[in-house]
Structure 1
Amino acid sequence: MGEQPSIVSDGQAVADLVSDSSMGAVDADANAGEDAPTASDDNQPVWRTVGRSAILRALVLPVSAILGIIITRVIIGNYGPGAFAQYGLLVGIGAMLPFTDLGISAAVVNALAAAPSDTKQEHVYRTLVAAIRVLVASAVVLLALTVALSVTGAWPTLLGAGLDPKHGSLAAGLCLGLIAVAVPVGIGQRALVGLGKNHVSIILQGLQSPMVLAALLLAIWVGIDAGPYVAAVAYAATFVLAIVSTVIVARMLPGNFGRATRDAPRIRSVHGEKVFDQAWPMLVQLVAMPIALQTDRLIISHVNTVSDLASYNLASQMFTPVAQVASAAAYALWPMFVRARTSDGPPPVSPQKTAWQFCGAATAMCLLICAVSGWLANLASGGKISLSLLLIAVFSVLMILQAAKNPLGMYMTDAPGLRFQAYMVMLMLPVNLVISWVLAKPWGPAGPVMGSIVGVLLFQVLANAIYVRRDLRRRFA
């Protein structure tokens, strides 16, 4: 397991805001075939932030992967394969619940990014009040579900034979309970993006694997049988880091955050800001995107062989970090675009040109992976799994398209833009599913990847590019 469960999504990374001077207005004469103006000819502050985002994410990924391998060895060596099997099973609970914040992160990021001064602090306060209420409600529902599953003894039925008969149900309940209590304090990690301090969040995220490994080694040294509860330790680390990030945000917003926390229970007398116009489109994407991308494995499992599925999994492990690094870098653009939009100024960089630059960077990374793919496959599988040139090629194309869509999507983070993205994702789901199923038989594990390529290209890259172009023309005509 390369990474432990985390409240922070893979797409989150460093987001230092550029100075207000780089957001200054310029001549907004945009012709039909040209990009809209950008805030400054000197984009070095922007690219420093984006580059730092990518570098930090690129550093965290291999460190987490190496520590994940060590954790795997420690679990299997001290507690046996059964404990490791349950660990992987319970860690998967968090992966199945990416929507626990109900999409509220979009409203929090936009509110904080749009309020660099005291002029909009009331909006920030009311947004935080609404967000805290939504997150607490989500936590209560998850806790109720935890109690219901534990009291009725439904965990073995739900999770299957991989659950330890003696301690598995308690461990599963602890994991879901920790996920639940981490939801409200997870607001800090969302707020850090809008505050332009998400580098703190990604650094904290990088501490999770060391914390889990340290806890395991301590338990072994003391003689505690922690085997059935390793996944709970991972979720506990996530919870602690979420608390730390929330404390940091509270110190950065001493007035608004404390006031919002105190007033959130006063539902009748204190009204929160409207947030669901931004939350529901984000929620749709949080639910739909994993379905769209994870159905590939299900299709291969039904249509192709176990060997094909193994090849797909290995190729995915090799190339997915490209999309993760690109997403982390792109998140640095979100608050910049928000601040420019709310001040009626041009974006600090052209979303279209930035998409091409992300394409170039992703292409370089994919070429590097392609060059060493044979060695990596042999190292990871001991020579038991080989990757075809076609599978390597289509994964490269998919990662390049995933990288290209990110700057465009970060520009489209107001309510209309988020709605458009949600509609496109909903349209992409059936198209991706049908094409992937049809191509799986003749093209093997590369077929579903081709389906994902068509879906991402049509409904995210091209659709978002058209939307961004029209929006820039409308704003700066």
Structure 2
Amino acid sequence: MGVSGLFGLVNTRLIIGHFGTDAYAQYGLLATFPNLMPFTDLGIGAVILNAVAGSADPARDSLVRRTITTAIRVLLCSALVIATAGVVVGLLGLWPSLLGARLMEGGGRTATLCLLVYAAALPLSVGQRVVIGLGRSATQVISQGVVSPAMTCMLLAAVVTRTGAGNAVSVYSYLANVLVSVICVVVAWRATSPLLREAVRDVPRVRSVRGVSIRGTAGPQLVQSLVIPLAFQTDRLLLSHLGAPDALAQYNLAATLFNLLTQTVMVTGVAMWPLFARARADRRTESPFRPAAAFAGAGLLAALLLAGATPWAARVLSDGEIALPVVLVGAYVLYVAVEAAKQPLGMYMTDPRGLQFQVGPVLVLVPVNLALSWLLITPMGAAGPIVGSLVSVVLCQILPYAWWVRRDLRRRRAGWSGSDGALDGPHVVGASRAAGDDVGEHDPKEPGAVPDPVGDQPVVSPSEESHHDHDERR
């Protein structure tokens, strides 16, 4: 993450110095556009991660294979919808109305092209989920380190050959991010062979190879993915419409600096997801409160150190054209600490019960954050949306999450200390069910039965019966 951050600072300097602040503002708007659409995987990422992390042998687990087959089918449909929507919006000329007046001339065509690249790479994101579920988050992080150097190479090539324009900068970022998915697919393919090969082979066999039921996990995750962008990823849109002319550029530069920390915190937090999933599969209780305190302290310390270097960094990166207000830097310092404290709590709440509970607080958070950001932009400028996010996260996520986790820890400890070791009724065979996921739930009356996602009728195959016997012996 440090190496990636250094290259990111170089990229910022190249964009501002050779393409101008207008190109940098548009790049910040379009490069983060996928953050407005985390719902594009329809919650399937959580299902893959829980299934892989909760399986003792994912490479030969038929339930994991069917889960990935289902995921690829869903992502292919989602990619088609995204590509179609991008082309339609571009043909109708609606991008300036959707993204604000900060788009450069030809920015609409650039936005459409960015969406097409994003849609083409969407099915490949299965590899990242599998890698994280295997407990190899470090591999995924290392693959992300390729993005910024690749972006630097493209920018340098455009500067040297004088063939690139300001609109091309955003497309470069999308092409660079495709490399992450490609690397993770290769790693996952080799680490779980023959899992991905068989899953891809089964994708077109819709009738002979049924999918799995994913509603319990994917449903809550999808709801959150639909509403969270309205709270956290609309800051640039609000500033584009309501802020002063220099507010969006200030926000982009501050985000470039402090996102080095927030991204590190989030990636480290996601690495805890398979740990908690594995603990549920092994019927162990792992409290997230001590990691949350450690995350908050480390995040605050790192943010304070970065804040001390911010005036120099802003002057160097923007060639003295952009100055960051003190209130913006201070708001980001506190936001990093709060976001760090939230991560372990959220990663603990990744079973269906926890994901379902998160929906309520998130639905409350959206109007609270939007209202605060809207009201604070005028008096606080670029810092307004950050302060709004800070307050809303504490009130609508950290406090209710902590309350739920405390109750769930007591419930699990009481349930697992019983004579039969059961938590929620009779013991259910299968690593995926033990992990708390709804993928691969077996009917106790029908060994090897997998719920039909359409009619909830069990579908049994000889290969799955033998796999079920293997699970019982394990």
1:129 to partner: Cα distance: 1.3
Q: What's 2:127 paired with?
A: 188
Q: Which of 104, 109, 112 is equivalent to 2:49?
A: 109
1:377 to partner: Cα distance: 4.4
Query: Normalised by the size of structure 2, how large is the TM-score?
Result: 0.75
Q: Which of 329, 336, 339 is equivalent to 1:402?
A: 339
CA contact (8 A) 2:261 2:299 kept: yes
The one-letter code sitting in structure 2 at the alignment partner of 1:131 is A
CA contact (8 A) 1:82 1:164 kept: no
Change (3 A) 1:400 1:302: same
Change (3 A) 1:116 1:372: same
Q: What's 1:458 paired with?
A: 395
1:203 to partner: Cα distance: 1.7
Q: What's 1:23 paired with?
A: none
The one-letter code sitting in structure 2 at the alignment partner of 1:61 is G
SS at match of 2:38: coil
1:270 to partner: Cα distance: 1.3
Q: Deviations over 1:330-352 (max 9, x none)?
A: 111110100011121222xx300
Q: What's 2:465 paired with?
A: none
Q: CA RMSD in A?
A: 3.3
Q: What's 2:325 paired with?
A: 387
CA contact (8 A) 1:86 1:164 kept: no
What aligned pairs does 1:120-199 form with structure 2 within 5 A after superposition? 121-149=61-89, 162=103, 164=105, 171-199=110-138
Measure the CA separation in 2 of the matches of 1:177 and 1:416. 35
1:451 to partner: Cα distance: 3.1
The one-letter code sitting in structure 2 at the alignment partner of 1:463 is P
Q: Which of 360, 381, 400 is equivalent to 2:297?
A: 360
Measure the CA separation in 2 of the matches of 1:403 and 1:199. 18
Measure the CA separation in 2 of the matches of 1:268 and 1:107. 22
Q: Deviations over 1:141-162 (max 9, x none)?
A: 1233344456667667767784
Change (3 A) 1:255 1:455: same
CA contact (8 A) 1:115 1:121 kept: yes
SS at match of 1:186: helix
What aligned pairs does 1:46-125 form with structure 2 within 5 A after superposition? 57-70=1-14, 73=17, 76=19, 90-117=30-57, 121-125=61-65
Measure the CA separation in 2 of the matches of 1:240 and 1:384. 31
Measure the CA separation in 2 of the matches of 1:357 and 1:458. 20
Measure the CA separation in 2 of the matches of 1:310 and 1:141. 32
The one-letter code sitting in structure 2 at the alignment partner of 1:121 is D
Q: Which of 410, 425, 435 is equivalent to 1:473?
A: 410
The one-letter code sitting in structure 1 at the alignment partner of 2:413 is F
1:305 to partner: Cα distance: 4.5
Q: Deviations over 1:53-94 (max 9, x none)?
A: xxxx233223323234335545x3xxx888767656653543
SS at match of 1:322: helix
CA contact (8 A) 1:132 1:184 kept: yes
| Comparing 315-324 and 264-273, the one that deviates more | 315-324
Q: What's 1:274 paired with?
A: 213
Is 1:345 aligned to residue 289 of structure 2?
A: no
Identity %, equivalent residues: 39
The one-letter code sitting in structure 2 at the alignment partner of 1:62 is L
The one-letter code sitting in structure 2 at the alignment partner of 1:476 is R
Change (3 A) 1:60 1:265: same
Q: What's 1:333 paired with?
A: 272
Change (3 A) 1:313 1:263: closer
Measure the CA separation in 1 of the matches of 2:213 and 2:119. 24
CA contact (8 A) 1:101 1:135 kept: yes
Is 1:234 aligned to residue 178 of structure 2?
A: no
1:220 to partner: Cα distance: 6.5
Change (3 A) 1:307 1:245: closer
Q: Which of 416, 434, 451 is equivalent to 2:353?
A: 416
- How many residues in Structure 1 have an aligned counterpart in Structure 2? 411
Measure the CA separation in 2 of the matches of 1:225 and 1:450. 40
Is 1:202 aligned to residue 141 of structure 2?
A: yes
Change (3 A) 1:424 1:116: same
Measure the CA separation in 2 of the matches of 1:264 and 1:115. 21
Measure the CA separation in 2 of the matches of 1:464 and 1:473. 14
Q: What's 1:4 paired with?
A: none
SS at match of 1:366: helix
Change (3 A) 1:456 1:247: same
Change (3 A) 1:316 1:90: closer
Measure the CA separation in 1 of the matches of 2:212 and 2:377. 47
The one-letter code sitting in structure 2 at the alignment partner of 1:278 is T
Q: Deviations over 1:19-46 (max 9, x none)?
A: xxxxxxxxxxxxxxxxxxxxxxxxxxxx
The one-letter code sitting in structure 1 at the alignment partner of 2:39 is F
Change (3 A) 1:219 1:436: closer
Q: What's 1:15 paired with?
A: none
Measure the CA separation in 2 of the matches of 1:210 and 1:418. 36
Measure the CA separation in 1 of the matches of 2:201 and 2:238. 49
Flag structure 2 segments of 5+ consecutive residues without an equivalent.
415-474
Measure the CA separation in 1 of the matches of 2:382 and 2:92. 40
Query: Normalised by the size of structure 1, how large is the TM-score?
Result: 0.75
1:251 to partner: Cα distance: 1.6
The one-letter code sitting in structure 2 at the alignment partner of 1:411 is Y
Q: Deviations over 1:424-460 (max 9, x none)?
A: 1111111223344455556665554443222111221
Q: What's 1:369 paired with?
A: 306
CA contact (8 A) 1:156 1:163 kept: no
Measure the CA separation in 2 of the matches of 1:418 and 1:353. 21
